Amino acid sequence: MTDLLESTQVRAMYMSDTASVIEIISDHDDDDGEAAEAEFQDEGVEGHFVLVDGDDVLGISGYREIENCDATYYLSWTYLDEDYQGKGLGKKLLADVLDRLRKQDARKIFVKVSDYEEDGKNVYAAALSMYKSFGFEVEVVGQDFYDDGESQTILGLELTPQSEDLSVADEKPVIRFNGLFEIAETDGAYTFAWIVEKSAGFFGKRSFTPEDLELGISSVKEQGGRKIFLTFPSNLVLIHRPLQAVGFKYVGQLKDYYEEGLHELHFSHDLEGIG
């Protein structure tokens, strides 16, 4: 099997690889296959790489840059053809992708993993231990994120060393909620869209109020939502009291998500009172 480790190569994914890539993903999970196909259509295949043995595509991995962040990435669909798992190929592919990111001065990469179980076995156990072996660390665990009993673990890896004690100046912008939607790939987990208003006005309020949050909570309830997840940058000091007042709980933070010293805080609200 060592020949495969040597004979396989990692190359950029082309649009023409889509069919074979979708096949690999769908073999593991039909839903993921569909979601990946839609994403490749919408956002293209830039930043994606395939592991090939000659003309055969054996695996896929890649990254997508996170908008409005400083050189922060999410690890994209990372799957190996079922017949070629457990042979060190996943490691070879991921190492190659991370190397490319480091060469282009990427700062940080995150990966989201579900704890979904089938026949009492964690489907993503191999992936989780592979990520950890590359130095990824668990940063946030959102309980019941995908569904009741199925959590989301977000791991992060520093690609360039991030300072421990850098802090970013506080901000108190006017934040207004302007929508709510069910989070992709979840069943009943909602989030609010929010914008920062340009001018604060002479006497205008700055943060959102508990009343604003209550309004959103009740419309999520009306739509049958189970849970609300909200994320905010760590330097918005006025968000905490209103969030706590209406029963949000602190989930954790993705360190250095926006930029060095500026984290992404995660909050959740359980509408069924479980957990």
Which amino acid is located at 111 in the chain?
V
The binder of ligand COA chosen from 20, 26, 85, 253 (CB under 6 A): 85
By CB under 6 A, the count of residues binding ligand COA is 19
Decide if residue 104 touches ligand COA (CB under 6 A): no
Distance CA 138, CA 111 (A): 9
- Point out which residues bind another protein (CB under 8 A): 142-143, 169-170, 172, 202-203, 205-207, 234, 237-238, 240-241, 244, 249-252, 265, 268, 275
Q: Map tokens 């918005």 to a residue.
A: 236
Distance CA 84, CA 257 (A): 34
Shorter beta-carbon distance to ligand COA: residue 86 or 179: 86
Decide if residue 126 touches ligand COA (CB under 6 A): yes
Distance CA 85, CA 76 (A): 18
The binder of ligand COA chosen from 88, 135, 149, 275 (CB under 6 A): 88
The binder of ligand COA chosen from 22, 89, 98, 228 (CB under 6 A): 89
| Binding window for ligand COA (CB under 6 A); candidates: 99-107, 122-130, 208-216, 222-230 | 122-130
Sketch the per residue contact string, 61 through 80, with ligand COA: x for CB under 6 A, - otherwise. Answer: -----------------xxx
Contacts 24+ apart (CB under 8 A), 63-70: 63/97, 63/101, 63/106, 63/109, 66/110, 66/257, 68/258, 69/257, 69/258, 69/259, 70/107, 70/258, 70/259, 70/260
Decide if residue 133 touches ligand COA (CB under 6 A): yes
DSSP conformational letter for 253: E
- Whose CA is closest to 236, among 201, 196, 199? 196
Shorter beta-carbon distance to another protein: residue 219 or 244: 244
Decide if residue 240 touches ligand COA (CB under 6 A): no
Q: Which residues contact 106 (CB under 8 A, 6 or more apart)?
A: 63, 71, 72, 73, 159, 160
**Would you call 142 helix, strand, or coil by DSSP?**
strand
Shorter beta-carbon distance to ligand COA: residue 143 or 162: 143
Shortest Cβ distance from residue 131 to ligand COA (Å)? 8
Decide if residue 172 touches ligand COA (CB under 6 A): no
Q: Which does 98 bind (CB under 5 to 8 A by kind): ligand COA, another protein, none?
A: none
Q: Distance from CA of residue 141 to its chain's centroid?
A: 11
**Would you call 96 helix, strand, or coil by DSSP?**
helix
DSSP conformational letter for 67: T
Q: Which does 26 bind (CB under 5 to 8 A by kind): ligand COA, another protein, none?
A: none
Shorter beta-carbon distance to another protein: residue 35 or 238: 238
Binding region for ligand COA (CB under 6 A): 28, 78-80, 85-91, 113, 124-127, 129-130, 133
